[in-house]
């Protein structure tokens, strides 16, 4: 058993048959796939992850948790390929299925449209004041943007490159995430509230107070839960998406920032401004590991093939890459400036890093 799966019989019994088969497929893939290119800058010493030594992709497949999405089979070779100057404090970035990228500019009241090949600006969409988070619809050429100072969520028609409507929100909307079916948008505001917005109705249909929210927000692939970072409170809250009631609290300490849920719905990753990354096993609620960076970690993204985690170290001007199964740091991209949000294209072979200092980096 250990020769085939790499695990002892007791571990296999705890994981279950579905997880054992997934592990076996993973070992076969690792054995016959080509090695990861070594283009990334070798990282400076970073403390190893604490916790169990087994690969963290292992988790018990339980009903309601393991509802995997289709993922691609690639990730960038981690080379800073090109840089494009964009004024106005770039913050968030998203890449549509057709390869067009959209970049929010906090101090320019606009969303820039970018082509990846060749890498260039192709247009600009005027928005309300301080556009912050951008979320793309998977079913239509539409985007939602949180306009902080105009206290609204902008509805943008990407085919016409214009803002076509707004949804008023009390307070300054910060982070946003769309439900898997695309019908609800969850938004947090500076009035310490989580709001559920019906896209069809064009209005807030429910809200709940949440202390000290920031831009960190993620939804479970099943659509059953939404995860909210509570900044200096040091908690990540899990809320039922139907009732907006808190179902669990994960104590991470520090200053919680970006959160991401793995495609299989089993792992929650959380960047922390106090200098680390947390890995939480959602079915059990256990914190499996904490990776120390020694500097503020704010942004976070997982490659579409689920193999690599990118973590933006804001004040160090770096983005580090971690092997997701083991949480070992294997490379670093020296972006300079203040790296903000990170996005991958649908193929997984290209990533963009928005930089508040006035540019966006293309990673191949």
Residues 125 and 14 in one domain: no
User: What six digits make up the tokens of 56?
Assistant: 């963290």
Whether residues 170 and 216 fall in one domain: yes
Q: Exposure of 2 by Cβ count < 10 A (0-12 exposed, 13-18 middle, 19+ buried)?
A: exposed
Q: Count how many domains the chain has.
A: 2
Q: Tell me, yes or no, whether 69 lies in a domain.
A: yes
Same domain (yes/no): 23, 54: no
Q: Between 91 and 12, where is the model more confident? A: 91
In a domain, 39, yes or no: no
Instruction: Let me know whether 172 and 82 are in one domain.
Output: yes
CATH of the domain at 242: 2.130.10.10
Q: Answer yes or no: do 64 and 197 share one domain.
A: yes
pLDDT at site 104: 99
| Residue 174: inside a domain | yes
Report strand pairing: 142-147 vs 152-157.
antiparallel
* 24 and 55 fall within a common domain: no
- 221-232 pLDDT, tens per residue? 999 999 999 999
Whether residue 296 is predicted with pLDDT greater than 60 in this model: the reply is yes
Per-residue pLDDT tens digits for 74-133: 788 888 999 999 999 999 999 999 999 999 999 999 999 999 999 999 999 999 999 999
What is the mean predicted confidence (pLDDT) over 152-170? 97
Q: What is the mean pLDDT of residues 260-273?
A: 98
Nearest to 333 by CA among 83, 78, 91, 44: 78
38: in domain = no
Same domain, 10 and 138: no
The answer on 298 and 218 residing in a single domain is: yes
- Indicate whether 112 and 22 sit together in one domain: no
Structural domain boundaries enclosing 181? 44-363
Query: pTM value?
Result: 0.81
């Amino acid at each position: 058993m250990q020769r085939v799966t790499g695990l002892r019989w007791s571990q296999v019994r705890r994981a279950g048959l579905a997880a054992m088969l997934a592990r076996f497929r993973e070992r076969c893939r690792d054995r016959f796939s080509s090695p990861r290119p070594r283009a990334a800058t070798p990282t400076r010493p970073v403390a190893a992850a604490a916790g169990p030594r087994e690969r963290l992709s292992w988790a018990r497949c339980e009903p309601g948790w393991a509802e995997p999405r289709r993922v691609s089979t690639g990730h960038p070779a981690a080379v800073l390929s090109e840089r494009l100057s964009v004024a106005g404090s770039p913050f968030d970035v998203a890449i549509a299925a057709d390869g067009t990228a959209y970049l929010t500019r906090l101090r320019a009241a606009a969303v820039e449209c970018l082509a990846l090949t060749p890498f260039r600006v192709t247009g600009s969409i005027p928005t309300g004041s301080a556009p912050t988070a951008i979320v793309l619809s998977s079913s239509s050429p539409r985007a939602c943007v949180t306009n902080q100072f105009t206290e609204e969520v902008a509805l943008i028609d990407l085919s016409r490159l214009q803002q076509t409507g707004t949804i008023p929100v009390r307070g300054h909307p910060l982070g946003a995430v769309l439900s898997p079916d695309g019908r609800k948008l969850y938004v947090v505001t500076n009035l310490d509230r989580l709001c559920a917005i019906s896209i069809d109705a064009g209005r807030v249909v429910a809200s709940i107070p949440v202390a000290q929210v920031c831009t960190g927000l993620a939804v479970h692939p099943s659509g059953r839960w939404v995860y909210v970072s509570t900044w200096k409170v040091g908690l990540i809250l899990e809320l039922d998406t139907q009732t907006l009631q808190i179902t669990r609290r994960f104590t991470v300490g520090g200053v919680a920032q970006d959160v991401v849920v793995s495609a299989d719905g089993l792992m929650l990753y959380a960047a922390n401004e106090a200098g680390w990354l947390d890995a939480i096993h959602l079915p059990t609620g256990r914190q499996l590991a904490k990776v120390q960076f020694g500097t503020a970690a704010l942004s976070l993204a997982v490659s579409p093939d689920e193999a690599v985690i990118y973590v933006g170290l804001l004040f160090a001007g770096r983005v580090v890459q971690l092997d997701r199964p083991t949480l070992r740091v294997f490379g670093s991209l020296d972006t300079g400036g203040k790296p903000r949000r990170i996005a991958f294209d649908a193929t997984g072979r290209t990533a963009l890093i928005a930089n508040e200092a006035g540019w966006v980096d293309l990673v191949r």
